[in-house]
Amino acid sequence: MKHTVLVTCQNCDFDKQLAEIFAQEGHNVFTIKPGEDPQAVATQIEAQAGKLDFLLDTTDYLHKGDNFMIQTDTHGNCVASQATDNDCIANLVIEDDCMANSVIDNDCITNSVIDSGSLAQNIRDTIVDSVGIDAEIIEDVYRNNVLVSMRLLEKFLPLLDKGSGKRLFYVSSAKASIGETKLPNQYAYVMAKAALHQFIQMTRNKLAPSGYTFRIFDPLKGSLDPIKAAQSAYQYIMRRRTIENHNPLRDDEENIVMRDALGTLHGW
């Protein structure tokens, strides 16, 4: 069965390879290119396909000022110095409107979420001198990894509701697993992805009764060839997760897990 698919970013080799694989397999693929308005893409999908089956959210934002983030990448993936210049959905970050009722029940994302005033100053005064944490970087990375993904789902959910696939795919990192992380640093990125996990879990609670399924994937950027990572992601997105011992009551689609490009499952 062929699907209508949106790959939200085209910044990294992994993103591009994933879109290319879906196209090669005969699926109807749309992308959001750097600087392109997501609303224009939504309008295009509505006109050409009338629905969306898979939303592949490849948002993976690094801040070039995060001193603890890997800056070099021998496999052609995004690096921190590129993320702030080529963020393909930057326009979504600076909007102040509320999210759709269908996603977060009329709650607004208010300025208090990203306030860089007294709270940030208290954080800075407490810990920045000792471990190098920059609250402004943390806020920026949170906006771009969490709020952007929330706004993308809000924009494209009406099209997903019309589709038959109803599958949501998110790029994350095993580093964000609270049960597994051993890191004493990389605060901005790891904390943002952990927050994204909570958003995904709550979204799953809301949308699963309507038939939505979820895939959370670590492409192992910087340590695995992006072509191999994209091939692994494609297989993970397309196949159904297992029913244990043929018992419908033990349906693995009822749980959210994180899988990396080598097939390892990671704690949530």
Residue range 233-239: mean pLDDT, rounded: 94
CA distance 61 to 69: 11
Write a three-state SS string for the chain.
CCCEEEECCCCCHHHHHHHHHHHHCCCEEEECCCCCCHHHHHHHHHHHCCCCCEEEECCCCCCCCCCCCCCCCCCCCCCHHHHHHHCCCHHHCCCCCCCCHHHHCCCCCCHHHHCCCHHHHHHHHHHHHHHCCCHHHHHHHHHHHHHHHHHHHHHHHHHHHHCCCCEEEEECCHHHCCCCCCCCCCHHHHHHHHHHHHHHHHHHHHHHHHCCEEEEEECCCCCCCHHHHHHHHHHHHHCCCCEHHHCHHHEHHHCCCEEECCCCEECC
Residue 97 has pLDDT above 60, yes or no: no
Domain that holds residue 119: 4-266
Residue 72 has pLDDT above 60, yes or no: no
Domain containing 142 — which CATH number? 3.40.50.720
Kindly compute the dihedral angle of the four CA atoms of residues 168, 23, 30, 235, in this order, to the nearest 10 degrees: 10
pLDDT of residue 75: 39
Residue range 106-132: mean pLDDT, rounded: 43
CA distance 186 to 80: 12
Residue 189 has pLDDT above 50, yes or no: yes
Per-residue pLDDT band for 264 (boundaries 50, 70, 90) equals very high
In sequence order, the β-bridge partners of residue 55 are 6, 168
Number of folded domains that form the chain: 1
Q: Rounded to two decimals, what is the model's pTM?
A: 0.78
Residue range 182-207: mean pLDDT, rounded: 91
